[in-house]
Amino acid sequence: MNDIAASASAETLTPAEVDRIDAWWRAANYLSVGQIYLLDNPLLREPLQRAHIKPRLLGHWGTTPGLNFVYVHMNRAIRQHDLDMIFVTGPGHGGPAVVANTWLEGSYSELYHDVSQDAEGMRRLFRQFSFPGGIPSHAAPETPGSINEGGELGYALFHAYGAVLDNPELIACCVVGDGEAETGPLATSWHSNKFLNPRTDGAVLPVLHLNGYKIASPTVLARIPRAELESLLRGYGYRPHVVEGHEPDAMHRKMAAAVDTAIAEIRTIQRAAREGGETGRPLWPMIVLRSPKGWTGPKEVDGRKTEGSWRSHQVPFGEMDRPEHVRLLEDWLRSYRPLELFDDGGRLRPELAELAPRGERRMGANPHANGGKLLHDLRLPDFQAYRVDVPTPGGAIAESTRAMGRFLRDVMRDNPDNFRVFGPDETASNRLDALFEVTDRTWMAERRDDDDHLAPDGRVMEMLSEHACQGWLEGYLLSGRHGLFSCYEAFIHIVDSMFNQHAKWLKVCRDIPWRRPIASLNILLTSHVWRQDHNGFSHQDPGFIDHVVNKKADIIRVYLPPDANTLLCVTDQCLRSRDLVNVIVAGKQPEQQWLDMDAAIKHASAGIGLWEWACSDQDGEPDVVLAAAGDVPTLEMLAAIGILRDLAPQLKIRFINVVDLMTLQPREEHPHGLSAAEFDTLFTRDKPIVFAYHGYPWLIHRLTYRRTNHDNLHVRGYKEEGTTTTPFDMVVMNDLDRFHLVMDVATRVPALQAQAAHIKQRMRDRLCEHKQYVHLHGEDLPEIRDWKWAR
Amino acid sequence: MNDIAASASAETLTPAEVDRIDAWWRAANYLSVGQIYLLDNPLLREPLQRAHIKPRLLGHWGTTPGLNFVYVHMNRAIRQHDLDMIFVTGPGHGGPAVVANTWLEGSYSELYHDVSQDAEGMRRLFRQFSFPGGIPSHAAPETPGSINEGGELGYALFHAYGAVLDNPELIACCVVGDGEAETGPLATSWHSNKFLNPRTDGAVLPVLHLNGYKIASPTVLARIPRAELESLLRGYGYRPHVVEGHEPDAMHRKMAAAVDTAIAEIRTIQRAAREGGETGRPLWPMIVLRSPKGWTGPKEVDGRKTEGSWRSHQVPFGEMDRPEHVRLLEDWLRSYRPLELFDDGGRLRPELAELAPRGERRMGANPHANGGKLLHDLRLPDFQAYRVDVPTPGGAIAESTRAMGRFLRDVMRDNPDNFRVFGPDETASNRLDALFEVTDRTWMAERRDDDDHLAPDGRVMEMLSEHACQGWLEGYLLSGRHGLFSCYEAFIHIVDSMFNQHAKWLKVCRDIPWRRPIASLNILLTSHVWRQDHNGFSHQDPGFIDHVVNKKADIIRVYLPPDANTLLCVTDQCLRSRDLVNVIVAGKQPEQQWLDMDAAIKHASAGIGLWEWACSDQDGEPDVVLAAAGDVPTLEMLAAIGILRDLAPQLKIRFINVVDLMTLQPREEHPHGLSAAEFDTLFTRDKPIVFAYHGYPWLIHRLTYRRTNHDNLHVRGYKEEGTTTTPFDMVVMNDLDRFHLVMDVATRVPALQAQAAHIKQRMRDRLCEHKQYVHLHGEDLPEIRDWKWAR
């Protein structure tokens, strides 16, 4: 590990430069303390009084001075080396630092005119922080230059790597807190360097900030021997440069030297790859910054060590009714010598302001961190060209995701630097392998002859980490590009909380005019619950949909296309959309196809509709409404209709298929929701409804409990029964099979009363026969496997 | 990195020993292939025919021979060194290996009598695998000796570490697949060694199995230079021993030497800590096993490389209607020379059977892997002793979790080797710091003078990784101990999928008679959505409850105790329970207390009930039913009742508090559910109900949509609105505040029709006043902060 202290290059800075950098740092620290504590008297023109201090003190000082330190040094480097750089703030509650620096550089006031670069603006800057109607304590969507919320920790490096993909000139300086570094996602995200191509991607400069403490405990990485830490970081594939200490002047010199070294190494790596034809994986530089927690804060509070201790994690001291605490705060603030930093009007002195980069080179104004500014529409081929030929309903067999894969292949071909596909090693398994006709899997680590489509410039990113897939994609989207994450349905729960945070980010952005729309986060859930019969109970979980619909209605969409052509329509729609999370659930197994392309377009546009060819209520009101959402439920319901036709040909059946789940909600709840009249027209006001649903059945009740006919709604779905068995046995275990559905109809339809007992006995016999066959042969009855819809 | 090939200790084994170990290994491999392929003809007594082969081939061969290899070597080591060892199977789909080995050692047939140790038993063993009515492909609950399901990857090391805590003689051999090693949780779980005390805990022997491939892609750790891998593992704090190759004899010698070295190192470390007084953190040994994927399988299939390739990940070849594939399978099976391994009756030959350890030393029979066998009840002090004195409702202020902390302190004191508390550095922040009166935070890394309660023998485990907390606790519970995980409510979503897998494990165990009940997984969610006003929107998410209730009703419990005494009752109940996941949501802020201990016991036992002192319907039917679940909703609803008393003293109000959320579900759906009659008695059949709920409001609808009076139910809860603001403003943003609740009542109660407009205007005025004050002062109106219930 290069200790920059010992390096000759420590003479990067002249004493005057050190002074100016230190002045900026003091200014940022001053503004950070002000945000946490002050309501008024921002420039301390009068002696500090209790009334100038917020009644309720919120905020986190501990990480802030370190972030300020990194920021000013990156500013220097941007100017010195003409860098295009963004700042990814990993540590939690780092908001005050980024807000302070962007205010100093001017980008803050350009976006928030009322927080101007003067004394009144500074007063507002202070007041708004963690204040009702103000701004949060994290580097949130409201924060200029941010693409990573420091609320839920662990994703900073993924976001940074995602942002620099296909951005060869961009450098993401990513500060990783040593608390955050303990999380699982962060621990594996260091390996992102095996997926970064120095020829066509930019660079990430990680700054591991060891300030030693979390809330109360020390951090693991700060308490292992230095040699062990070095070994770990080298093992992750980095070349670490250490900047350690607490004396400001020396630290500025060391940091400047470390940054210059790292930038030089990045340039060398990129030149070798871009001009020298180097194709191996480089060891990228990184910086380890070890500085005291709450650096430059009060050494002691009430006789207890504070700077360099866990005690400075949040607000280092409160109880501001104690005059000695007011004095302590005033002394602390004045220790930054504000009069040297700001003129009488509260403006940063011009010689300091010059330190900031210009225009979009300011990290608070870099368009990569407001990706919508750079967003180009995808060049989308006509999705109809990938149609599956469906001469009659049920008259074709296809794997839905394979058709989607051919579409995605050409999207990939036509958008060679603006679109990527992510998945935990399941792209081919999920039948999207047509992609490999035009690209490869991204891979910078060692390659061997027998490998399957690996290349440094591959654009399909596979790592056995759903966190990586989601995190990289988020970074890629937030910086203005497009993508898709394909995942086994059960294991998408691994990123439940990442989805939460992204959905919250999008929701907040709706109210921030300067945040431009970005491409939607598209998640394909295939290898879904009903066809995980071979992988067993642990692979069977359709609950992500339930999780998704708890988020704001105008952010989330859920699609359950029943066949390939509908899936193509939905995919096209999702790839064109903005600022949403689109969840698509679609199977990968060979299944009957229902709709030709024209019918699919009509159906997908409406999101819900009658399939007339499966209905027998053309001449009036139905006796029963049968509905299905999802490919397997659709198949079973149609098979049930086939049985009912034989057993009760007089029965008037209406069949409804739901592709856009949110149509079920009242329009007041979701923009795609049907009006009450539309819903009643479809589902009737009083007829029995049997609904076959892909996931947990109660979700349909939760969406429809306000609907007129809800009392007559009976839903079948996954009720958490499963194991390693056959596909049909899976639906039987959950009462979602054709035979149970027929029994449900027989039980509920008055017109069938006379026949009900007979029908139910027939169905029970069929179920018996099924169980016997399956337990004997280990596969489904041929008549079930080979069942075909026929009018 | 010690390469065992070069080591003199490679002569651990005599040639005869090598032969016997290899024979066992061949037997296990034979049984593994048989499980994947064969229906019949288990001993190949006749030429293999299509009819002997399963019609549907399921399973994963790739990882299996490596697991078999490790298993037999651990068997040797157990006998040689008299070890108490369990086997944690990280790699996915490793079921066939563990099943094969436990059948060979006899522990399988002891639990499954019909799968006897003879030819018929072998036939059944083969047939049942991944077959309807049979067993899954993972090391699942059904698998003897397993405490880790290889379905969702990433938790093996956490489970292993959790199991050896407070088990000083136990060693957990934990095989980590190189696919699994890419996950976030696994990547950080290596650091568990900073929390393992060699004096009082056992040891984990990780075996990182590099077979090079996932489904289709290579693995990261198999494709970095050996020096880099060594550096990484040393950086994680291990001393790696490498066993690399493919030639069986040489590999057996290397592996035996590596295992002996590792065991010797473990013994040395433990002696130093237990007898030598060593208190520093040791470098624990681990093994890196690099062997071909699908080792000993067919070298080529249809001309394409298979052994040592990703192509052997699943079933290496199918299409068994092709005679050459039947021949290939027969040749493969016969390559293990089954006649040398099994006698005519299908029994393992006695000289091989002797290789197995005896009795409970067999890893399939080790009671630590069936923790219920070792479970002792907690010694529980009388929870009533920790009561908060509540002279009248609202007549005391307390922090609920602080009272719970005092109870937990004494539970910890009285169960010094059977109870641990886990949390991501939030134990003190969550007001459970009374625990530190009797114990410390577990910490084996470097300590400093100013640290706060760190010690090697601490029993509060804090790492900034919810995955670590959950994973360690699961391992601790599955091996027969007790514990509690306290977590910020929003961030428990990080382990949504781990909860899923544990709940599925418990569900499956209900049908496995030999799996003895284990202590419940207790999760305390504090720092909940309503008091994350200071941390902002990213910290506000009550959706874990929604996630939990999708799992099987007999596994899950959700409690929302409204005050400290109720929380004490619930905690006691949870600590006594078995085989459940108990989720407790309770705040940590100072709040009014409602129930004295007698009332709390009555209320918590019923789970739901009237609070008569808040009702005014004593003389008949109520005009309105007001209900609340959760501490903040209870407060707001009681405040609303206070306002209604002033404005509409004639109104007959019934107030219901819900502490056990599952009482709301019909009894047919959940064992705690109220009967229809009970529910109707409480909630009436036709009166308006206004329900103030802690989480997303639609969950209450989902639980109650079958109830008689559901149409009159109006629920307020979190509707995904929030930011950094004041506590009361949080409820206002979500319409859950007292003023909105009063308006809801005014809108819905016919008896108030004449007054409704007036009441609503008053409430709107109060809301205006609130907004103005909050935006001016940054804190809530004193009359709201200081509001007290008074009859």
pLDDT tens column, B482-519: 999 999 999 999 999 999 999 999 999 999 999 999 99
pTM of this prediction? Answer: 0.97
d(CA A1, CA A228): 11
In percent, the amount of chain B with pLDDT more than 70 equals 98
| Largest CA-CA distance found in chain A, in angstroms, rounded | 98
Q: Is the pLDDT of residue B2 over 90?
A: no
Higher pLDDT pick, A59 / B365 = B365
Q: Write the residue in A56, A231, A452 that is nearest to B778 by C-beta.
A: A56
Pick the closest to residue B100 from B59, B132, B159, B154 (CA basis).
Answer: B59
Supply the pLDDT for residue A11: 66
pLDDT in tens, A502-551: 999 999 999 999 999 999 999 999 989 999 888 889 999 999 999 999 99
d(CA A235, CA B740): 57
Chain B CA closest to residue A723: B136
d(CA B309, CA B740): 64
Neighbours of B532 (CB within 10 A): 22
Contacts of A774 in chain B (CB under 8 A): 132-133
In percent, the amount of chain B with pLDDT more than 90 equals 94
Supply the pLDDT for residue B1: 44
In Å, how far is B384's CA from the nearest CA of chain A? 30
- State the average pLDDT over residues A309-335: 95
Chain A CA closest to residue B441: A217
Top CATH class of A387-591 equals: alpha beta
With CB atoms and an 8 Å threshold, state whether A218 touches B445. Answer: yes
Distances (CA, A) of A101 to A31, A84, A345, B369, B597: 9, 17, 18, 55, 53
With CB atoms and an 8 Å threshold, state whether A538 touches B152. Answer: yes
Q: Write the residue in A447, A493, A778 that is nearest to B132 by C-beta.
A: A778
Chain B CA closest to residue A192: B220
With CB atoms and an 8 Å threshold, state whether A723 touches B136. Answer: yes
Sign of CA dihedral B186, B187, B190, B194: negative
Chain A CA closest to residue B442: A217
Chain B CA closest to residue A227: B235
- The superfamily (CATH) of domain B3-370 is Thiamin diphosphate (ThDP)-binding fold, Pyr/PP domains (3.40.50.970)
CA triple B57-B62-B66, angle to 5 deg: 130
Burial class (CB in 10 A: 0-12, 13-18, 19+), A130: buried
Q: Write the residue in B140, B184, B550 that is nearest to A467 by C-beta.
A: B184
Contacts of A497 in chain B (CB under 8 A): 490-491, 493-494, 496
With CB atoms and an 8 Å threshold, state whether B778 touches A132. Answer: yes
In Å, how far is A640's CA from the nearest CA of chain B? 23
- State the average pLDDT over residues A716-724: 95
The full DSSP string for B309-344 is SGGGSS-S---TTSHHHHHHHHHHHHTT-HHHHB-T
Burial class (CB in 10 A: 0-12, 13-18, 19+), B416: middle
Supply the pLDDT for residue B7: 45
Pick the closest to residue B560 from B550, B570, B551 (CA basis).
Answer: B570
Q: Mutating which of B37, B495, B500 best tests the A interface, going by the most A Cβ atoms within 10 A?
A: B500
pLDDT in tens, B759-776: 999 999 999 999 999 999
d(CA B621, CA B74): 71
With CB atoms and an 8 Å threshold, state whether B698 touches A702. Answer: yes
With CB atoms and an 8 Å threshold, state whether B187 touches A182. Answer: no
pLDDT in tens, B557-587: 999 999 999 999 999 999 999 999 999 999 9
With CB atoms and an 8 Å threshold, state whether B189 touches A184. Answer: yes
Q: Is the pLDDT of residue B8 over 90?
A: no
Distances (CA, A) of A529 to A536, B56, B437, B498: 9, 19, 48, 17
Q: Are strands B84-89 and A653-658 parallel, antiparallel or unpaired?
A: unpaired
pLDDT in tens, A269-312: 999 999 999 999 999 999 999 999 999 999 999 999 999 999 99
**Chain-centre distance of CA B622, in angstroms?**
44
Q: Give the DSSP H/E element, type plus range, for residue B123.
A: helix B119-128
Same fold, A387-591 and A611-785: yes
Q: Is the pLDDT of residue B5 over 80?
A: no
Q: What are the residue boundaries of the structural domains of chain A, listed by start?
A: 3-370, 387-591, 611-785
In Å, how far is B740's CA from the nearest CA of chain A? 19
Burial class (CB in 10 A: 0-12, 13-18, 19+), B124: middle
**Can you read off the two tokens belonging to residue A134?**
């103000």
With CB atoms and an 8 Å threshold, state whether A775 touches B133. Answer: yes
With CB atoms and an 8 Å threshold, state whether B536 touches A151. Answer: yes
Q: Is the pLDDT of residue B82 over 50?
A: yes
Chain A CA closest to residue B142: A723
pLDDT in tens, B83-95: 999 999 999 899 9
Q: Reduced to 3 states, what is the DSSP secondary structure of residue A642?
A: helix
pLDDT in tens, A401-438: 999 999 999 999 999 999 999 999 889 889 999 999 99
**Can you read off the two tokens belonging to residue A543?**
């609950």
Burial class (CB in 10 A: 0-12, 13-18, 19+), A746: buried
Chain B CA closest to residue A315: B534
Supply the pLDDT for residue A215: 87
With CB atoms and an 8 Å threshold, state whether A538 touches B501. Answer: yes
d(CA A357, CA A102): 11
**Chain-centre distance of CA A308, in angstroms?**
34
CB A673 within 8 A of CB A662: yes
The full DSSP string for B624-640 is EEEEEESHHHHHHHHHH
Q: Reduced to 3 states, what is the DSSP secondary structure of residue A40?
A: coil
ipTM over 0.95: yes
Q: Is the pLDDT of residue B521 over 70?
A: yes
Q: Write the residue in B127, B429, B534 that is nearest to A215 by C-beta.
A: B429
Q: Is the pLDDT of residue A7 over 80?
A: no
The full DSSP string for A128-168 is HBTSTTSB-SSS-TTSTT----SSS-S-HHHHHHHHHTT-T
Bridge partners (DSSP) of residue B713 are: B689
Supply the pLDDT for residue B475: 98
d(CA B570, CA B564): 10
Supply the pLDDT for residue A620: 84
Q: Is the pLDDT of residue A619 over 90?
A: no
Chain A CA closest to residue B130: A724
Contacts of B670 in chain A (CB under 8 A): none
With CB atoms and an 8 Å threshold, state whether A191 touches B220. Answer: yes
**Chain-centre distance of CA A56, in angstroms?**
33
pLDDT in tens, A726-746: 999 999 999 999 999 999 999
**Can you read off the two tokens belonging to residue A642?**
């086939």
Q: Are strands A608-610 and A653-658 parallel, antiparallel or unpaired?
A: antiparallel
Q: Reduced to 3 states, what is the DSSP secondary structure of residue A649?
A: coil
- State the average pLDDT over residues A608-620: 93
Q: How many CA atoms lie within 13 A of B263 on its CB side?
A: 23
Q: Mutating which of B494, B529, B533 best tests the A interface, going by the most A Cβ atoms within 10 A?
A: B494
Q: To the nearest 10°, the Cα dihedral for A559, A564, A568, A571?
A: 30
d(CA B315, CA A467): 28
With CB atoms and an 8 Å threshold, state whether B490 touches A500. Answer: yes
Q: Are strands B300-301 and B304-305 parallel, antiparallel or unpaired?
A: antiparallel
A611-785: which CATH architecture?
A: 3-Layer(aba) Sandwich (3.40)
Residue A489: CB partners within 8 Å, gap ≥ 6? A525, A526, A527, A528, A529, A532, A541, A542, A544, A585
Pick the closest to residue B737 from B711, B707, B770 (CA basis).
Answer: B770
Q: What's the pLDDT band for A790 if we cut at 50, 70, 90?
A: confident
Neighbours of B337 (CB within 10 A): 12
Residue A734: CB partners within 8 Å, gap ≥ 6? A716, A717, A718, A719, A721, A722
CB A362 within 8 A of CB A117: no
Supply the pLDDT for residue B429: 87
